[in-house]
Amino acid sequence: MKLAFSTLGVPGMPVADVVRLAAGNGYQGVELRAHPEEPVNTGLSPLERASVAEEFKRGGVEILTVAGYVRVAAGGEDGPVLAELAELVELARDLGAANVRVFPGGGDQDPADADAIAARRLGAAAPHAADLGVRILLETHDSHRAGADVARVVGTVGHGQIGAIWDVMHAWLAGEEPAASHAVLAPHLGYVQVKDIASAEDTTPLALGTGVLPLKACLDALDPESWVCWEYEKRWYAEAAGLPELLAAGREHLLRLGAPKQ
């Protein structure tokens, strides 16, 4: 199992500090939140992108994903969505990241319509992503919380550069058992996002292993070489404990859960 954490847990932290934090706590990768308020975003110049890539390379830490906020099932014209997605794919290529994260964002649309919009846009973006060696991953989130929801879209696209992220919290909130999530997502799975929370009503992030999410059942389903990313949503919960002091224990907890069965 290869471990990463999301910079959503350390909002605004300079790149050099993120690299040191990952390397110092035994994480092989980082999911970089790409947003204008963060040090890494699509507005970076070529020189700045090269500097970020070199910082990670020097620290021996992989940029697993550029986590964008494109909503591929949202209403409206395709053009702006595809343009934003292309910018994220190009940023990932420049940084040496394997993946770009996107959201469904279907809102209150009829699910079949949202599926069709998302599949059409992802299909249109796939050739460019393939040319640049980047995979676009649709996360189990918002209008498509369950693995079955995301699998419908990704399966319709049917392109190797279009895959899925299994956010275990959202699938659990959708009432989907881990074995069911894995069964439908496995053919498309890029990696798994783990976290922990107190309840369906209180999603404030907690230290791994102190909440209710079925993390062991999720990890048991995975290939031993899978990536697992801790998405600690500190950005949205100011009252939550800081991530840096939790990282070492979180790593040990995940390694225990993912240890081969005797």
pLDDT class of 123 with cuts at 50, 70, 90: very high
pLDDT at 110: 96
User: Domain 2-235 sits in which CATH superfamily?
Assistant: Divalent-metal-dependent TIM barrel enzymes (3.20.20.150)
Q: What length does the chain have?
A: 262
pLDDT at 35: 95
Three-class SS string for the chain? CEEEEEHHHCCCCCHHHHHHHHHHCCCCEEEEECCCCCCCCCCCCHHHHHHHHHHHHHHCCEEEEEEEEEECCCCCCHHHHHHHHHHHHHHHHHHCCCEEEEECCCCCCCHHHHHHHHHHHHHHHHHHHHHHCCEEEEECECCECCHHHHHHHHHHHCCCCEEEEEEHHHHHHCCCCHHHHHHHHHHHEEEEEECCCCCCCCCCCCCCCCCCCCHHHHHHCCCCCCEEEECCCHHHCCCCCCCHHHHHHHHHHHHHHCCCCC
- The answer to whether residues 189 and 219 touch, using CB atoms and an 8 Å cutoff, is no
- Condensed to tens digits (0 to 9), the pLDDT of residues 160-187 reads 999 999 999 999 999 999 999 999 999 9
CA distance 164 to 205: 22
CB burial of residue 186 (10 Å; 0-12, 13-18, 19+): middle
- Condensed to tens digits (0 to 9), the pLDDT of residues 89-120 reads 999 999 999 999 999 999 999 999 999 999 99
Burial call 163-177: b when 16+ CB within 10 Å, e when fewer: bbbbbbbbbbbeebe
- Condensed to tens digits (0 to 9), the pLDDT of residues 54-90 reads 999 999 999 999 999 999 999 999 999 999 999 999 9
CA distance 250 to 241: 13
Structure tokens at 201: 């009503």
pLDDT at 224: 87
pTM beyond cutoff 0.85:
yes
pLDDT at 261: 52
Residue 150 identity (one-letter amino acid): V
Residues 6 or more apart whose CB falls under 8 angstroms from that of 128 comprise 86, 89
Residue 262 above 60 pLDDT?
no
Structure tokens at 45: 């110049």
- Condensed to tens digits (0 to 9), the pLDDT of residues 16-65 reads 999 999 999 999 999 999 999 999 999 999 999 999 999 999 999 999 99
Q: Where are the domains of the chain?
A: 2-235
What is the number of other CB atoms lying within 10 angstroms of the CB of residue 113? Answer: 12
Residue 260 above 80 pLDDT?
no
pLDDT at 258: 83
pLDDT, mean over the chain? 96
